[in-house]
Amino acid sequence: MSGKIIRIDLPADPEQIRQLKLGDEVRLYGTMITGRDMAHKYLIEQKPEEMREILNHNIIYHCGPVVRKVDGEWKFIAAGPTTSIREEFYTADVIREFHIVGAIGKGGMGPRTLKACQEYGAVYLHAVGGAGTLLARRVVKVKDVFKLEEFGTPEAMWLIEVADFPVVVTMDAHGNSLHTKVTDTSTEVRNRLLGLK
């Protein structure tokens, strides 16, 4: 990690996203959208036009928030990341079809997503698991919600405004994956300890 914190305003400048590297600490400001399994399936199977402008040069947050209404407005109570590998089947297509520049989650993603990040100039950003209430404090406002009645609260697509939202780059647009590096290193150490080739 460089020690320097990089500010990204959303929707993002694609060139700024391309310049990000593994380990970069980022703070997000602006509007982004949550999306989990049902949202990704919906985006690829239905290709809704209303989502194109929202997603263009933007980021999808793999999050099933805990929300409640306060004085008639939605408020995030918890906003922790969900496991991203579940979205591996769809994410490369969402990047290509809707021109998103990144996804946020936990646990990393696979080779299809990594290839799409490199091809289209996107990144995977890691948010800290177990810090849902702290991350919810970075959600300044719920601007809109899509598919709430059909998908339910966790699977709905929440359009949120965030400020100083902390993430780390763990897959960049240059074909690098911290998750692959950790797996390779761990396998090498395990094999050495066990006397395996």
Q: Is the pLDDT of residue 64 over 60?
A: yes
Q: Delimit the domains of the chain by residue range.
A: 5-194
Q: Is the pLDDT of residue 180 over 80?
A: no
Q: Is 40 a catalytic residue?
A: yes
DSSP, res 78: E
pLDDT, one tens digit per residue, over 102-121 is 999 999 999 999 999 999 99
Catalytic residue, candidates 40, 62, 126, 179: 40
Cα dist from 132 to 83, 92, 137, 138, whole Å: 13, 26, 9, 10
Gap between the Cα atoms of 101 and 17, Å rounded = 7
Which numeric CATH code is attached to 5-194?
A: 3.20.130.10
pLDDT at residue 165, as a whole number: 97
Q: What pTM was estimated for this model as a whole?
A: 0.90
Contact assessment for residue 121 and residue 173, using Cβ atoms and an 8 Å cutoff: yes
Q: Is the pLDDT of residue 192 over 80?
A: no
Closest residue by Cα to residue 87 from 36, 147, 157: 36
